[in-house]
Chain A
Amino acid sequence: MSGAEFVPLSLTPLLIGVFAAIGCALPGNFLVLRRQALIGDAISHVVLPGIVLAFLVTGAITTWPMMIGAGGAALLSVLLIEAIRRLGRIEPGAAMGVVFTTMFAGGVLLLERTDTSSVHLDVEHALMGNLESLIWLDARGWGSLLDPVALAGLPPELTRMALTCLGVAAFIRLFWRPLKISTFDEGFAQVIGMRTGLIGISLVGVSAMAAVAAFDAVGSIIVIAMFICPPAAARLMTNRLAAQVGWSVAFATFAAVLGYVLAGYGPLWLGARDSVSAAGMIATVSGLILAVAALFGPARGGQQA
């Protein structure tokens, strides 16, 4: 394939997919180890009412109000889960189930009650994202990467996703030691004076930020899959946290690239005419990676490990 076709049509979706995958997989490592893996699932469900509300308030699909709405909804859900867990003395899993299903139901109801026929806002869009449509129309080929005029036309999602990914990576790098210690031995972390509650909340906050940014660009399936599958597969490869994070980044990148290529070109190779959902295919590939790791991973272990 020539650059003239690849750069405008595939380069930006591919990069956005990769950044989204890495941005979610990085905090996912700690969530998986802390047995909070389903937080990604919960967050990606609860952002729907936030986004619909933002649309109702502003009357248009604009990025920042939607991000604020989604972030607010994510924050509200975390508070609600905690409140229900404490006030009702209910186990966290069930409390989470109560909150995210209810907020999602509220979002669906709001969506049905509002006239969104004029804009592209529906549940399927929220689930699947529109990775394929994030193309770079101004590009003419590889040379456009050095052309400021063409660069100005880059889809804003790319910049946002890249910045989010960088931010998440910086958070993990800066707080590596507290995160690591409080994840593996919370009691010890408290004894040496770490504020484990604060660390836990910031981790959830950073995850929510990554989820909301990725959700806007690529839909919620990738978010849930990337929070869990690459870190889980990486966990089966090694016993060292640093190596696990490395593996998870590699797996996330691989899943994003292979998934995108398979979705875009796989059906053509098989003789079909149309491509399939890239978000779905990326999730599927990440699942296959996890399956391979679960069958052959050197540190797959049993329950005793």
Chain B
Amino acid sequence: MLWQALTLQLGYNATLVAIGAMLLGIAAGVSGSFLFLRRRALVSDAISHATLPGVGLAFILMVALGGEGRNLAGLLAGSAISAAVGLLCVQWLTRNTRLAEDSAIGAVLSVFFGFGIVLLTVIQTMQAGRQAGLDSLLLGATAGMLRSDAILIAAGGALTLVLTLILRRPMIMVAFDEDYAAARGLNVRQVDLATMALVLAVTVVGLKIVGLILIVALLIIPPVTARFWTDRTARLWLLSGVIGGLSAYTGAAISASAPQLPTGPIIVLTSFALFVLSLAFAPGRGVLAAVLRHAAFQRRVHMRQGLLALAQGQPIYERYTIRLLRRAGLARADGVATEAGRARAAKALLDENRWDILRAMPDHEAAAALYDGMRPIETVVTKDQLTEIDARLPAPREVTA
């Protein structure tokens, strides 16, 4: 069943939903990455909650005009308008009062959402208009979706994605270096506004699939996940789009494969699974990589200190050091150096003495700054410099075992 869902064999609607979700996921991942780079990830939370009163008002308006209240296009248009108003409120509060952005976000989020709930309770008491579908916009529901709705979502996702791709260059520039972008003649405020508009479009399109509370996850989790894998802005948004698309598509397929698997939460949990995998296993920034790096560093420190102790005939008390030296065949279990160990120890001591001289030479300040107690000096200075250093070395001294 899951395999059929993943290969799009569960019927026309499920296929449309999966493709629409994937397009939405890609668009959300890409536009979300610019939001993330601008350190404004949680603005999306305000935008998404601010859609609710628009949905309610659009419903009331459409019923009042004698139409069907559940028309998805109408509801989405209403949600877009009220989300835009919410966004403007956040910007106005941040710019014109002393409130910080997080307070503005929280205030807009809670007030708009509260007002939306008031409108929903008004709608519940209305007799007309078949309001049953409205709740699904809170948490998203693709079961029983109309074909026209599915097409609308797929088209909206595709359109948002195209717009994001067109606007990506200025957005990258602003996200990476605001001042440089301004110096190049970009209007930073307009670019920011465009980013927000794209986020808003993603939110509105995503209402039906993942619902307004969880759409935030699609905007935040993929960029954060992508950040583990790359340090380059140009790759970040691409990767984020791929991760977003993958989680949305997989999530939609899983949810279509069995009943009682709501689409929105499954998509969010899928992307969180990708996030956890990246947090654990990504090279460079991942936790496992960091642990391994730390262990390797520890090994080098112990090795070096052990060799220096051997060279100077000092006893080694640290068991880990002795174990390392033994494993490398440099010392016996009682801490006495082997033949190879004496050679390596002499080399380490020479290295250390050379470093001491280098660090006392004012000409080599830059090279001396690289001293970390482990680096072989040949990797830092040229042969000529080494000769110059060696000329100042004290007379050689035998290493005693």
Contact = CB atoms under 8 A, between A and B. Distances in A.
A282 B113 CA distance: 11
A154 interface: no
Given A87-B287, A93-B102, A124-B138, 11 more contacts: A112-B261, A221-B114, A224-B109, A228-B106, A263-B118, A277-B117, A277-B120, A281-B118, A283-B114, A299-B98, A300-B97
Interface of B: 36, 39-42, 44-45, 93-100, 102-107, 109-118, 120-122, 125, 135, 138-139, 213-214, 216-217, 220-221, 223-224, 227-228, 260-262, 264-266, 268-269, 272, 275, 279, 285, 287, 290
Interface string A159-200: 000000000000000000000000000000000000000000
Interface string A213-231: 0000000011011011101
B135 A94 contact: no
Contact of A91 (B39, B103, B279, B287): B39
A237 to B, nearest CB: 11
Contacts of A300: 96-98
Contact of B42 (A88, A93, A112, A232): A93
A113 B260 contact: yes
A89 B98 contact: no
A224 B102 CA distance: 12
Contact of A90 (B45, B114, B227): B227
7 shortest interchain CB distances as A-B pairs = A283-B114, A287-B111, A280-B117, A101-B217, A105-B268, A225-B110, A97-B220
A203 B375 CA distance: 46
Interface stretch (A7-15, A37-45, A141-149): A37-45
Chain B CB within 10 A, most for which of A89, A97, A287: A97
A32 interface: yes
A123 interface: yes
Interface stretch (A53-61, A66-74, A246-254, A268-276): A268-276
B221 A98 contact: yes
14 contacts: A38-B45, A97-B44, A98-B224, A101-B213, A101-B221, A105-B217, A221-B113, A228-B107, A232-B99, A276-B122, A280-B117, A287-B110, A301-B98, A303-B98
Contacts of A299: 98
A266 to B, nearest CB: 10
Nearest to A87: B287
Given A101-B214, A101-B216, A102-B272, A279 B117 contact: yes
B260 A112 contact: yes
A83 B287 CA distance: 11
A21 to B, nearest CB: 12
Contact of B107 (A90, A96, A272, A290): A290
A283 B214 contact: no
A283 B125 contact: no
Nearest to A224: B110
A273 B125 contact: yes
B264 A105 contact: yes
B145 to A, nearest CB: 17
Contacts of B106: 37-38, 40-41, 224, 227-228
Contacts of B221: 97-98, 101-102
A236 B216 contact: no
Contact of A93 (B41, B213, B261, B266): B41
Contacts of B99: 32, 232, 235-236, 294
Contact of B111 (A88, A229, A277, A302): A229
A235 B98 contact: yes
Contacts of A88: 224, 227-228, 279, 285, 287
Contacts of B42: 38, 93-94, 96-97
Contact of B95 (A36, A280, A303): A303
A102 B269 contact: yes
B107 A98 contact: no
A106 interface: yes
Interface in A287-305: 287, 290, 294, 297, 299-303, 305
Contacts of A221: 110, 113-114, 117
Given A101-B217, A124-B135, A221-B110, A35 B118 contact: no
A284 B268 contact: no
Contact of A236 (B95, B97, B213, B287): B97
A267 to B, nearest CB: 8
